[in-house]
Structure 1
Amino acid sequence: MKYLFTSLVMLACMALCFAEPENPAIESPSPEAIVDIQIEAYNQGDIDAFVATFARDVKTYAHPNTLQISGVEDLKKVYAGFFNANPELHAEVTGKIIQGNFVIYHEFVTGVAGGEDFFATAIYEVLDGKIQNIWFVQ
């Protein structure tokens, strides 16, 4: 009886070792996927979905280091106005480079009210599943 009890305890311990965890780690989307979600929200003019892709302390720069926007609240204010003023706004990704947590997109932007279509290069830095920094090259 003693051996039966010991065997059952050992089997129970082994079962726990090989069991799937109750809360498996959820793999976060890739940096490219995060930026793609941001581009889609931009094209839809969906300010809430757009802002959700950014870190709270996001910074945007005119390349190389001219600070344009600092913080998600500033970003939301600027882009909400931009989306409202340009309902036909659309960015098409025409080229891309992915290197680690950096996503570099060459974009063709159309639908700027009263303006001309233009090409831009955006260098996105994604950390912990959020866009932390963007450098715009024009």
Structure 2
Amino acid sequence: MENPENKRFKMRLRPRRVPRESRAPSARRLRAIAARSRRRRGLRRLPPARVPFLGFSPSVLQQSIVKVRYVQNRGGSGWRVHGRYLAREGAQQEGKPGLGFDAHEQEIHIPDRLGGWQRAEDP
């Protein structure tokens, strides 16, 4: 029997038109992920425990949906401009400019990093 809360939040991988003959790395990865999820559907797991005051399991609160769209890099300074938007004052904490982070640094100037990626023609 399927858990009713899982039914509400059930997501399926629905790729847009990815032709079988496509050799693009993203298409290969998408097909591999879809195959892996089809294999896992046969496995049955116990539903997570419910927290009484929430009425549903905490794992439901940790779900997210990511919509990815790939577009051509049109040159110019679009990434740097977007970095300025992300780093504007008050974007993250009130009265402070927004700073990014990565695996090695805690305070990255976002417009400079994105501008460097664009100059390097990073896809």
Q: TM-score range by the shorter chain?
A: under 0.3
**Bigger share in strand:** 1
Higher RCO (C-alpha 8 Å, min separation 6):
1
TM-score in terms of structure 2 length:
0.26
Asked which structure has the greater CA Rg, the reply is: 1
